[in-house]
Every structure is written in C-alpha cells, then in structure tokens.
Structure 1
Amino acid sequence: MLIEELNQRSRTIFRQIVDTYILTGEPVGSRTLSQQLADPLSPASIRHVMADLEDSGLVYAPHKSAGRIPTQSGLRLFVDGMLEMGNLTKEERTNIRLQCQESGKNVEDMLTRATSLLSGLSHCASLVIAPKNDLPLKHIEFVYLNPTQALVVLVSENDDVENRVITIPLGLTPAALTQAGNYLNARLVGRTFAQAREQILKELDNQQAELDSLTQSLVAQGLAVWAGEQDKTFNGAHEHLIIRGQANLLEDMTAIQDLERVRRLFRDLESKKDLIKLLTNARAAEGVRIFIGSENNLFSLSDSSVIASPYMDGNNNILGVIGVIGPTRLDYARIIPLVDYTAKVIGKIL
C-alpha cells in the first residue's frame, strides 16, 4: 500500500498507533486513541478506522478484544512515508565526534568506542563490520622462503600486519623479490588494494612494467592471492565484527514472549557469519539501510530490526558498515540520524 491511499483520518490514527506502540510496546485501543487525538473522535469511529487499517494489513490485534499494533508492512509504510526524522543535539554530535577522535590512529579502538557509544545512545545493541584489507597500505615486502615459496608482508596505514605465503616461479632470485616489492610499493602505498590493482594489471598486460618475465609473474601471483583474500573478506571469512550493548536488549522486555524473542535474537547474534552477510547487504546503500523483521532472513524469527549505514573514506570507497539492532518498535526517528552521523564521523576520521 502507498501512503497516498490512506485518507487523512486513517493516517492520523495509524500514526498514533505506531507512535504509541513504539513508546510503550503495548497494543493500542480505541479508548486510548480517543484521548490522544487532537480532533475528538468517538471510540466507535476509531474502531471503524482501525478495522479498515487491519483489512489493509497495516495493523493487527495480537489478542482477541485487544488493541492494535502495527504489522511489519505497517512499520515499513510508516518509516518510508510518514516518519519525521529527529535531530541530534549539539552535545550528542560533539560527544560522538570526540569519542571517535580520542582513539587517534587506532582504528579498532575507534570502532569499539563508536559501537559502545551508539549502543548507549540508542539503548540497543550496536555492531560494526570492518574489513582490514580495505585500509590503505603503508608497506609491502616479499621475503624469500625456499625456491618455490615466498612470504608477502603487508602493513596497513594503521600498522596492522598481515602475511601471505605464495608460490613463486622456479629460478626467481631474492633480488627479483626486492624488485617486485619496490615496484608494488611505488603503486600501492597510500592507496587501497582495490584502487591500485587495476592500474598494475594494465601495466603488466601492456608490458609497461620495467620487470623481467619472472618478476612480472611474481607480481601477478601476489595480486591474485590478495584478490582472493579480498573476495573471501566480502563473503565474511575475514571480516572483523564488533558487537556491543547486548544487555540493552534485555531492558525492553514487557512480556514472556519478549523473553523468547530476545533469546532468539541472542542466538542470531552468535551467528557472526550470517550477521556479516546481512551487514554486507548494506554496503550497496548510499545512506542508511533499514531492515524490518522478516525483511532479512537472519532475524525473521526474533522480530528484530536493523538500521545500518556504510562508512566511507574521502574517495567514497566503502570501508565497512556500522549499525544498531533491536526490536521492530525501535525509535526510528532518533536512531536513523544517530547511525547516519556516526558513520559519517568514522568515515571522515578514516
């Protein structure tokens, strides 16, 4: 359904149902609505509108003779067409910025601080995904191991060190390893692997690289191994995941069924591979991405929502994703700008 298909009275009552449910977590009855609406309506008139909203699939009654709560489709309609976004206070913006800046160049510490702060401000669980391999490189070196193997040492700008053992052509000398390292350092340092790889491959294909055939083979082999690692990273094998604030999820329980929902959510959070896969879907978004309930398979049983945003460097290269997870009755108007601003602060610092 489109928001334009609702008349003004239906929109007003639907908005009030959603706002009250997000605030209390309880079904909203016609008597409660009659007391809340600015323009007085009788409970009977309100019940008639609520029945129409239920027929449209926007609300439902969880129990007989109970009030109504929004369906997941109703929440999606509300978020997409009726949500009035809140504004962060000057103090909140300053706090987020200073907390992230205090970590200096320690990226992991900054992301940990950001997720802890975000979980505190949102009263939900917060998570961040950070692929190490997306950071610009500081140094690359080939170390001779034996006639068929060499060690590739990669140092990123935040001083993270990663090693890869690669196969080298027979007859390759230690001097050729040094030459290959110098060649790549001149093109990779200060850039991410993805930024430099296309240029290097073009040089090799066009025979523009001043390297002998064996050294060119070594460079190509190193690029292939590193590209393979990046592909694995994208699929979740090497992603770095930080989760904070799970205890906040326990504070939101209003009934026994909420306890079971939170138990399911905790089990879902333990499935880090699937969680990373979900967050990876947010990479394609230009801004904040919102998953409500069964819109994502991972949290379909725990009735949870995820609000996530990618954070980017100065060249608009996506470095990772940060977000918040909680019940579907999240305070979307407040949390969406929180996630969006935090992602922008992280990207600006990086």
Structure 2
Amino acid sequence: MERIRSMSRANDRENVDRQALEALEGFGGPPRAFQQLNERSREVFRHVVDAFVETGEPVASRTIARRLGSSLSPATIRNVMADLEESGLLYAPHTSAGRLPTDIGLRLFVDGLLEIGDLSDDERRAIDSQCNGAGRSMAQVLTEASGVVAEMSRCVGLVIAPKSEAGLKHVEFVPLSENRALVILVDENGMVENRVMPLPPGLPPAKLIEAGNYLSARLRGRTMDEARQLIGDEIARNSAEIDTLTARVVEQGLATWSGGHDDGLLIVSGQSRLLDNVSALSDIERIRRLMEALETKKDILRLLTESQRAEGVQIFIGSESALFGLSGCSVIAAPLTDQNRRYVGAIGVIGPTRVNYARIVPVVDYTAKLIGRLIG
C-alpha cells in the first residue's frame, strides 16, 4: 500500500510539473514568466522558495506574513500565492494547505531571483587543503574532491574522472555469489574501478584466480584497447595458456569494460546523506530509485557529461531530467577543464530540490577550477 501511495505522489508531482510547463509556455517560458511577475509577486515567491529551502515543508501564507512583517496582509498574500499557483510556479500538495514551488518555479527562481553567495577565505583554504595534489595520485585527489563537495553541500558528491590514458596495472575477480563476481581494475595512476559481471554456471573459484592472473600479466603497462587486441588475438589463435572455461571469464571481464572504462570513471561520495533528507524527498521509494541510479552509474555519467558542453556551473532541477524527476532531486555540476581548456570530466552534487543553491554553486565552481589546475 505504501508503495502505491509513493507512486501516486510521484505521478501527482509529474502532472503538476507538466501543467506548470504548459502555463509558463503561455508566457513564453520561464524568463518571460519572470518578467510578468510584479514586485509583490516576486517578493512573495522569493520568500516561499526561501522557506521551502530551509524546511522542505509546504509553506503557508501565515509563514510568509511573518517573514514580511506588516508590509502585506495575510489575505493579500493568499491571493498572490493563488496567482502564483495559477501561473504554474507553486502547487498545493493534497495533504496540506501550504504551497511548494514546482520544478519550473525553482528553475525560474534559479535563473531570475537567485543571489549566488561566495566562499569565505576559510572555506577556500579548506578546499585547497583537501584537494592538494602534493604527493597524491590523481585518483586520490579526485576522491577527495568528491568528498569535499559532499561535505560542504551536505549532499552526494560526484566526480567523473578524466579519461585516462594511463597503462593498466592489475585486475582481480572477487566472487559475490554463484553467478556474479566483482571485477577490480587498477591503472598505473592508481585509479580503481569496480564492476559486477555474470559468471558461467558452476565456475570453480580457482578459475577466477587463473583468469585474474592471466589478465594482469597481459594488461600491465597497456591501455584497455591494447589489452583487448592482444588477448583477443591470443584466444582466437588458441594460443592463450588457459582452458575454455577460464577464457570465457577473461572475455566476459573484458566485455564488462567495453565502451565504459575509456569514457571516464564515476566517483561517488556521501550516498548516506540522502537519508538525511527523507522528509524533503517525500518517501523512501524515491530514495530507493535514486540509490539504484547511483549504483548503475550509466545514466549519471550521461547527465554529468552534458555539463561538459557548457561553460560554468549547470543546474538540473527535478523533472528537467528523466533520471531525477521521480527521485525529487537536483544536480549541480561543473565541467573539469585542463590548462588547455579541454573538457576532461565533471564534478557536482546530487541533493533534494530544496538544496541551498546559493551556497552550493560557488562550492562546485571553485572546486572544479582548482581540480582543473591540478589536472594540468
């Protein structure tokens, strides 16, 4: 029953956002809608969003009245909020008389009303210290970067590691169950990537060890493409010093990275922080869906890769992305560029749509620029 209610709430929110988009299209989209708001409506809308960011709860007219003092009467505020709802910027959850901003409303706020904060000197020094490249591999620096944006934003930190041209160093197969194994790949820069692969039925554990030893001997110092070519030729010529069952494990292990390893590595930090915002995310079902997305990583990589095509920090709010529409989350991401201005990765955070955008944007932006200088 709870799962049905969760899906119903998600569908209600999706319908609200679709109706909001249709309403805003009548104004010519969010920028035009912002111009249509008078000063009173902007002020009320700003306070609704501010209260929502602080509490994650529906905002009542009496809350706005207290924030504004005596400048507007409660009746006037109710009328303004009703107009904002009709315009598609607010909606009323069926469980409360208060109002929440729609995803389209949050986009309007971010694009037209958000006042970006700045980092203090202490915060800059903290980021500099944690992401210091002295004596560390790039893998360690990027992991620290993911952790620092997670800590300072109180959200989940994400980094797409730059595409690595480094040679490979070691591969290992760790059995998880009778039909699955974890494949651990390490390159010469210390980058570590883990993936789950299927196993042939009835495979003895000794065959995993044999496959790992065989791959490690041939991967060392080679790129993944070079290793695939060498091993593929050996197996095709039947010159590989392994039996048929081990060869199947080797081929499956290589296929696990097909089209993936060369596209970059996703580093995730602070997943448990999603549980800190359970009330803001509405229900545990949304968290479960997002956790699954973080595990599969494919869609996350695709979304963060989109941020590499634009300058500066990008914000994806809720239903603007199919991946996060049902999880009630937003992504704030910035591209990583080297000293030649080439795009080599991305860094960002995932959090509830009520995240403090004004604080998180400068954290992500500063960290992205710092890492870009370290990449060289």
Tell me the TM-score normalized by structure 1.
0.71
Which of 36, 45, 53 is matched with 2:76 structurally? Answer: 45
Instruction: State the partner residue of 2:341.
Output: 316
**1:258-269 equivalences in 2 (<5 Å):** 258-269=283-294
Distance 2:222 2:313 in 1: 31
Aligned length: 269
> Could you tell me how far apart the structure 2 residues matched to 1:102 and 1:317 are?
20
Give the match for residue 121 of structure 1: 152
Provide structure 2 residue ranges, at least 5 long, that are not aligned to the other structure: 1-29, 168-186, 192-220, 231-257
2:308 maps to: 283
Letter in 1 for 2:154: H
What is the CA deviation profile of residues 279-338 of structure 1, one whole-angstrom value per residue up to 9, with x for unaligned ones?
A: 111110111111001111111210110001011111101111000001111100000110
Distance 1:103-1:250 versus aligned 2 partners, 3 A rule: farther
> Which sits farther off after the overlay, 249-258 or 115-124?
249-258
CA RMSD of aligned residues (A): 2.6
Cα distance, 1:10–1:348 mapped onto 2, change above 3 Å: same
- Listed as ranges, the matches of 1:1-350 within 5 Å are 1=30, 2=32, 3-63=34-94, 66-102=97-133, 104-133=135-164, 158=189, 161-163=221-223, 164-165=226-227, 166=229, 232=259, 238-254=263-279, 257-350=282-375
Q: Which residue of 2 aligns with 1:228?
A: none
| CA–CA separation in structure 2 for the residues paired with 1:337 and 1:33 | 28
Q: Secondary structure, in 3 states, of the residue corresponding to 1:86? A: coil
**Secondary structure at 1:274's aligned position in 2?**
helix
The AA in structure 2 aligned to 1:248 is R
Alignment partners' CA distance in 2, 1:247 and 1:77: 30
- String of CA shifts for 1:68-91, please: whole Å, max 9, x gaps: 110000000000000000111111
Q: Which runs of 5+ in 1 are unaligned?
A: 139-155, 168-230
Aligned partners of 1:281, 1:339: CA distance in 2, in Å?
A: 16
Deviation of the 1:237 alpha carbon: 6.0
* SS across alignment from 2:323: coil
8 Å CA contact 2:138, 2:190 repeated in 1: no
TM-superposition CA deviations, 1:147-187 (whole Å, max 9, x none): xxxxxxxxx995874430548xxxxxxxxxxxxxxxxxxxx
Is the radius of gyration larger for structure 1 or structure 2? Answer: 1
Q: Match for residue 176 of structure 1?
A: none
Contact 1:289 1:308 in 2 (8 A): yes
Give the partner amino acid of 1:290.
I
Shift of residue 262, structure 1, vs aligned partner: 1.5
Which string of whole-angstrom CA distances, capped at 9 and with x for unpartnered residues, describes residues 169-219 of structure 1? xxxxxxxxxxxxxxxxxxxxxxxxxxxxxxxxxxxxxxxxxxxxxxxxxxx
Change (3 A) 1:311 1:293: same
Cα offset, 1:263, TM superposition: 1.7
Native 8 Å contact 1:237 1:273 kept in 2: no
- Superposition TM-score, scaled by structure 2 size: 0.67
Cα drift, residue 103 of structure 1: 5.1
Taking only the aligned residue pairs, the percentage that are identical comes to: 52
